[in-house]
Amino acid sequence: MYLSEDYVSGQLHRAAQQRMLRDLERRRVIAERAAEDAAAADGVTDAARPRRGIRALLPRRLGSLSPARPVMP
């Protein structure tokens, strides 16, 4: 039994695993950038919604000024 052969095969296996992890990370980054570019082209923010002005965020009508529940004495 040659230990050097086991060492070399183990080293090759670890190198292949590291290469696979790098490739997966690279693909993930590319996919994220492509999604960001596609969203930017559609005018969508990071929250996946179109941009709205401050008036669109405010309620249409103001609610009553009295408390919703009676106050306990």
How far is it, in rounded angstroms, from Cα 41 to Cα 67? 45
9-45, pLDDT tens digit by residue?
889 999 999 999 999 999 999 998 888 887 776 665 5
| Domain regions of the chain by residue span | 1-34
- pLDDT of 21 reads 94
In this prediction the pTM is 0.48
Cα dihedral value 6, 8, 10, 13, nearest 10: -140
